[in-house]
Structure 1
Amino acid sequence: MLKKLYATDQTRLFFILKGGIVGLVSGIVVSIFRLAIEKMTAYIQELYLFFQEEPLWLIVWAILSVLTAIFVGYLIKAQPHISGSGIPQIEGLLQEEIHYRWFQVFWRKFVGGILSIGSGLFLGREGPSIQLGASIGQGASSFYHSPKYEQKILISSGASAGLAAAFNAPIAAVLFVVEEIHHTFSPLMWLTSLVSAIIANFVSLYVFGLRPVLYLGHMHSLPLKYYSLLLILGVFLGILGRLYQKNLLDLPRWFNKLPMPSPFYGVVPFLLVIPIGFYFPQLLGGGNQIILKLEESGYSLYLLLLLFLLRYIFSMISYGSNLPGGIFLPILSLGAILGALFGVFAMEYLGLEGYYLKNFIIIAMAGYFTAIGKAPLTAIILVTEMVGSINHLMPLGFVSLIAYIVVDLLGGHPIYESLLDRLVSYKKVANNSEQIIIEFPVTAESILDGMSVRDFIWPKETLLVTIKRDQQDILPHGDTILQMNDRLLILTDTNHANAVRKELRKKTLIK
């Protein structure tokens, strides 16, 4: 018994060390990536101020912008998996539905992300940062010649480190990996991801300082009498979140009408951002500066509505063009604008005190993110860490829950899961499939808890080969009773893996 316990502790120690190395490298890389984007965005904003005085230079700038878009397009053409945020690709990689060489993705995502996001397009740095971290984890697993399960843990820890360094939000980064990428809890994966996130965050704090990314200063606690407004806000955000999901998933249908190859769709936003930058240079980028200035700017309802429409439409154009860039920060900025819009309306017509406007900005960020990503725990902790205040957990949780329920009733699915389904559906199905092992958890709400193996109708093309229970591996037979927290290792093939996972989720959920 002691020998087995020692072996288990030694295994965890090795994963802690490997996760620490992945976190350190990811923290350094993502901090450089983040710093380059911030410096480039600031420089381009100053450049547009110069163009306001010398508008003829816009012709030269337009030509440079087209050439930049074409260059990024060639990067995408050489490696299509650098397009978009990269999070669906990571999920596909972990589910063995997508395969790519880590370094080919890594350097192209780094260069393409800086050029696309730093040019002022309405894209976020977090998705590319997550994919950069995951690529480093994948590279580390190749260096260690890791078995498949260890490779997945290191990829997950790298993804966690990438998000932590991008937003200085290590706890939310771990929750994101658990809630959004894996949809299940694994102690070893969680521990390794936490180590990576903490170390990557430490590196980022050393570079950017201790101030939270979206620090809004002191805020008053929202009284209970305003929770009826939060109920309305949650419904409002849920409806608009579902609309965002539909519009985002419809983008390929619109972009496919353009008379150009898909890797070069980026020419469109690179040209359209020029008039935005010329007239409103302060609006360029992912949106964090807008969030910081919303409360003090004194926008009217009319201006807030125009600001929301501008950022909504152009963020869709930016992301739909397949350029390397994420939607985390654009979603948070849109949520903040909606919160300000709702708060100003409540101030003008419902008697809300002005100093509570910050509260609605913060709360709406979490609610809108929840409605689109359907990851409420990640949304709540992410916003909490980014603003540096834990005094709003109750209203954040309340609005996020309402928004989640509304979008669920409207038929919404997690946006990254939907993007992965679309990505996989575009792939050509190979004639020869490979056998793989997928892992499926027995959760508290599963009908498998307490059921014998023979009493469950297993999907076709599957074979239950092992049950992992605590630190034991159990070879199943017909009379084996399944228990909550069991992890089932199921043999299938690459062509059926995704369908098997979906069928198991559907059949095992308590109705």
Structure 2
Amino acid sequence: IGSGLFLGREGPSIQLGSTVGQGVAQGFKASKTDSRVLLATGAASGLSAAFGAPLGGAMFIVEEVFHNFSPRVWLNALAGAIMANFVVSNVFGQTPVLAIDYKHSFPILQYWQLLLLGAFLGLIGRFYQWGLLNFSHVYQKIPVLPRWLHGIIPALILVPVMYYFPGYVGGGNNLILSLNQIHAVNVLVLIFLLRISFSIVSYDSGLPGGIFLPILTMGALLGAVYGQFMVDLGLLDQKLVVNLIIFSMAGLFSAIVRSPFTAIMLIAEMVGSLLHLMPLAVVSVVAYVVNELLGGVPIYESLAGRMQTKEDNDYVGEADQLTISIYEGSQLADHQVKDIAWPDRTLVRVIHRGQKDIIPNGNTKLLAGDLLVLEIDENQRGLVYDKMARLQEAKE
């Protein structure tokens, strides 16, 4: 990261935080469920420390990792994230990470611009997902370099890039803050093409670094490109371009990571203002929907799935637990336990329904809002989760 590669600090920060959480769990000999909660708490704390965003850190864990609002998870994650932010604020100060100065609210009559911008971000987000998931095959076709030396390739590319464009390298924090001073659309487009291509090359090399900040940087660039283009057409006031820069960071993040709530809270905290929640939500939701229609998938789930091997799925391990919520309209709702095609080696242990805990049998009817505790093979966790996610899809 310090060399100037297009990688962010949040990925390693999340990993460091989760490692601390896992270490605490092992030190206190916590149960497997408590260990996962502590690991999640550490991850939320790491993201909070990296970006000064405790709400965004907790929301990321709930929305992207656990996919449910279990009080046990979000309370611990939020507590850890708040404490991490408290420590960081006392050591490094309370200035927002992206203290972008803007003075004008986005006019309601211009909201049609947000719909176009969201669709544009959803399309670009789908392309970035595709590139990130497929460019690794290019590295695999380089026979002369082992995997652990692939980082040499982006390092060599970085030398001329840094020589000619020193202000455009790195995670992109300073670039975001200076975007409102660049008014040439062609220059902004060239910077974006540099950022998106080199971000994919950097990340797929296997070097330790995150994609949060690079995604936010690309989103800010796209917002500047769109805004300046509309200014040139006479359809937008120049003073509102900075607003679109902020909104686009959340929109592209929502499209690529598929976590709109996290995107909204993260950007609000990083910018240090809650005055733009409505336009942030509009752009994020539109970008998310467009990406969904184009066949997009959550990038972190896809990257994790790529790491899983057939041997992992075939290995029989110890018993573990997985907690899932039943959504309104899913294929699980209003069916008896015996009628569900459960994944192999999966047992429904407990159903949490409101204040009651139900020990189910085959005739127990599942209802929307139920919280299921499944007993599974610990080495089948990812596979079972994927199958349960498909069962949660809406009924035809």
With the length of structure 1 as denominator, give the TM-score of the two structures.
Answer: 0.74
CA contact (8 A) 1:213 1:386 kept: yes
Partner SS state of residue 438, structure 1 = strand
For 1:316, which of 190, 200, 215 is the aligned residue? 200
> Deviation of residue 371 (structure 1)?
0.8
The aligned residue for residue 377 of structure 2 is: 493
User: In structure 1, what residue type is equivalent to 2:164?
Assistant: Y
How far, CA to CA, are the matches of 1:234 and 1:351 in structure 2?
17
Give the aligned partner of residue 263 of structure 2. Answer: 379
What letter matches 1:361 in structure 2? Answer: I
Tell me if the contact between 1:453 and 1:481 (Cα under 8 Å) persists in the aligned partners. Answer: yes
| Aligned partner (choices 183, 193, 203) of residue 87 of structure 2 | 203
The CA deviation string for residues 323-362 of structure 1, in whole angstroms up to 9 with x for no partner, is: 0000000000000000000010011113311110111100
Residue 225 of structure 2 is matched in structure 1 by 341
Which amino acid in the other structure matches residue 382 of structure 2? N
Cα deviation, 1:415-464, whole Å, max 9, x if unaligned, reads: 00100110113766565444333222223343434433234333333222
CA contact 2:58–2:77 (8 Å) conserved in 1: yes
Shift of 1:281: 1.8
Gap regions ≥5 residues in structure 2: none
Per the TM alignment, residue 491 of structure 1 is displaced from its structure 2 partner at its CA by 2.6
CA–CA distance in structure 2, aligned partners of residues 494 and 142 of structure 1: 17
Q: Does 1:221 align with 2:105?
A: yes
Q: Is the 8 A contact 2:312 2:380 kept in 1?
A: no
**3-state SS, counterpart of residue 491 of structure 1:** strand
| Separation in 2, partners of 1:148, 1:469 | 23
Amino acid at match of 1:443: Y
Preserved contact between residue 219 and residue 358 of structure 1 (Cα < 8 Å): no
**Is residue 216 of structure 2 the alignment partner of residue 332 of structure 1?**
yes
In structure 2, what is the equivalent of residue 364 of structure 1? 248
Contact 1:219 1:359 in 2 (8 A): no
Shift of 1:501: 2.1
Match of residue 269, structure 1, among 133, 154, 179: 154
Q: CA deviation at 1:313?
A: 1.1
Q: 2:309 aligns with which of 411, 419, 425?
A: 425
Find the residue that maps to 2:375 and give its secondary structure: strand
Encode CA deviations 1:36-87: one digit per residue, 9 max, x unaligned: xxxxxxxxxxxxxxxxxxxxxxxxxxxxxxxxxxxxxxxxxxxxxxxxxxxx
Paired residue secondary structure (2:321): strand
Query: 1:472: Cα distance to partner?
Result: 4.8
**Offset at 1:478?**
2.4
Query: C-alpha separation between the residues in 2 aligned to 1:389 and 1:371?
Result: 22
Structure 1 counterpart of 2:82, one-letter code: I
Hey, what does 1:442 align to over in structure 2?
326
Contact 1:343 1:357 in 2 (8 A): yes
Deviation of residue 186 (structure 1)? Answer: 0.8
Q: CA deviation at 1:211?
A: 1.2
Equivalent residue of 2:97, what SS?
coil
Match of residue 459 from structure 1: 343
Distance in 2 of aligned mates of 1:457 and 1:431: 21
The one of 168, 171, 176 aligned to 1:291: 176
CA contact (8 A) 1:160 1:196 kept: yes
Q: CA RMSD in A?
A: 1.7
SS of 2:386's equivalent in the other structure is helix
* 1:35-74 paired onto structure 2 within 5 Å: none
After the TM superposition, which of the residue ranges 427-436 and 315-324 deviates more from structure 2?
A: 427-436
Aligned mates of 2:78, 2:191 — CA distance in 1: 37
Q: State the SS of the aligned residue for 1:118.
A: coil
2:4 maps to 120
Q: TM-score, normalised by structure 2?
A: 0.95
CA distance in 2, matches of 1:510, 1:384: 32
Deviations 1:130-149 (A, max 9, x none): 11100000000011110111
Q: Which runs of 5+ in 1 are unaligned?
A: 1-116
Shift of 1:494: 4.0
Counterpart position of 2:55: 171
Task: Name the structure 1 match of 2:292.
Answer: 408
Distance 2:381 2:206 in 1: 26
CA contact 2:11–2:212 (8 Å) conserved in 1: yes
Could you tell me which residue of structure 2 aligns to residue 507 of structure 1? 391
Flag the structure with higher helix content.
Answer: 1
Find the aligned partners of 1:194 and 1:386 in 2 and give their Cα distance.
17
> In the alignment, is the contact (CA less than 8 A) between 2:118 and 2:251 conserved in 1?
yes
> Which amino acid in structure 2 is aligned with residue 237 of structure 1?
L
2:117 corresponds in structure 1 to 233
Letter in 2 for 1:174: A
Please state how far the C-alpha of 1:468 moved relative to its aligned partner: 3.0
Distance 1:150 1:308 in 2: 43
Cross-structure match for 1:96: none
Counting matched residue pairs gives 394
| Cα deviation digits, residues 281-339 of structure 1 (max 9, x gap) | 222210010000000x2341111011001111111111111000000000000000000
Counterpart-to-counterpart distance in 2, 1:388 and 1:359: 13
Q: Would the alpha carbon gap of residues 426 and 213 (structure 1) be closer, same or farther in structure 2, given more than 3 Å must change?
A: farther
Distance 2:387 2:84 in 1: 37
Moved more, 251-260 or 154-163: 251-260
Which amino acid in the other structure matches residue 261 of structure 2? L
Aligned-partner Cα distance in 2 for 1:305–1:388: 27
Q: 1: distance between equivalents of 2:382 and 2:158?
A: 38
**Corresponding residue of 1:45:** none
Instruction: From the CA coordinates, give the structure whose radius of gyration is larger.
Output: 1
The equivalent residue for 1:246 is 130
